[in-house]
Amino acid sequence: MNKTAIMVGNSSGMGLAITRELLKSEWRIVGISRSTSPVENPDYRHIVADVRQDEYQKQLKIALKQKPQIDLCIYFAGIGELLDLSHMEIEPEIFEVNLLGLVKTVSLVIPAMVKSGQGHFVGISSFADELVSAEAPSYHGSKAGLSNYLEGLALALKPQGIAVTNVRFGFVDTKMAKGEVKPFMMSVDRAVKHLLVCLEKKPVRYTAPGLAIPLVKFRRWMMRLRYLSWLITF
């Protein structure tokens, strides 16, 4: 029996790549994004909707009625901009897409999974969830909220037999990668391989590349030290 997945924000980058990969394995997929999709496959249906708009939840409800048993849902949607103190209009939108859009998705998809007694929800986060940033505070803050929410949800849903995975990547070579310094840049193909491992093993937290973990922890420690120093001098 073919498995069914919902992919949110999958018209480009990692979302598009994993969609194509799963279609090779005969998954049936519903994709939702604010852009059209280049995928043409009888097992694929695409819906154009923006997670910031009410239409998104209406379309997702329709998709869930048509596909009452969802085996997998991956939330890829995300935006990030460097902070511009003279023009901060984009700041609320970053939280709306990166965090609130995911919460809207969870509020509809998880009850359907609980009803069927199975399912796997995956959210794409970032190393940014552990770090404070003056360069892009809205991106870091929204990812921190996403990671915390998903991992709490994983604990709540474990007794129900529903898996939740928080995937934390560094820089992936997509249009989302911003900033002057991009350490441990990962190709989209490599990111897809990591996602396939997640779909197989269903961990609560998956961080890649593993080599970056000590660096992130060291940077977080240095930031705390700087903050403590600032408190003392203040």
Residue ranges and CATH numbers for the domains of the chain are 4-233 (3.40.50.720)
Whether 44 shows a pLDDT value over 80: the answer reads yes
Whether 110 shows a pLDDT value over 90: the answer reads yes
Query: Which residue would you say has higher pLDDT here, 5 or 226?
Result: 5
Residue 34: CB atoms within 10 Å = 15
Q: What whole-number percentage of the chain has pLDDT above 70?
A: 83
Torsion-angle region of residue 156: left (phi > 0), alpha (psi -120 to 50) or beta?
alpha
Name the token pair of 209.
């590349």
Whether 137 shows a pLDDT value over 90: the answer reads yes
Mean pLDDT for the chain? Answer: 89
Residue 175 has what pLDDT? 57
Mean predicted confidence (pLDDT) in 152-170: 95
Residue 210 has what pLDDT? 59
Question: Could you tell me how many residues make up the chain?
Answer: 234
Whether 104 shows a pLDDT value over 50: the answer reads yes
Whether 43 shows a pLDDT value over 60: the answer reads yes
Indicate the range of 49-58, 65-74, 179-188, 224-233 predicted with least confidence.
Answer: 224-233
Name the token pair of 10.
């999958």
Q: Report residue 39's pLDDT band, with 50, 70 and 90 as the boundaries.
A: very high
Mean predicted confidence (pLDDT) in 89-93: 96
**Sign of the C-alpha dihedral computed for residues 132, 33, 153 and 204 taken in this order:** negative
Whether 177 shows a pLDDT value over 50: the answer reads no
Whether 187 shows a pLDDT value over 60: the answer reads yes
Residue pointed to by tokens 């979302």: 15
Whether 217 shows a pLDDT value over 70: the answer reads no
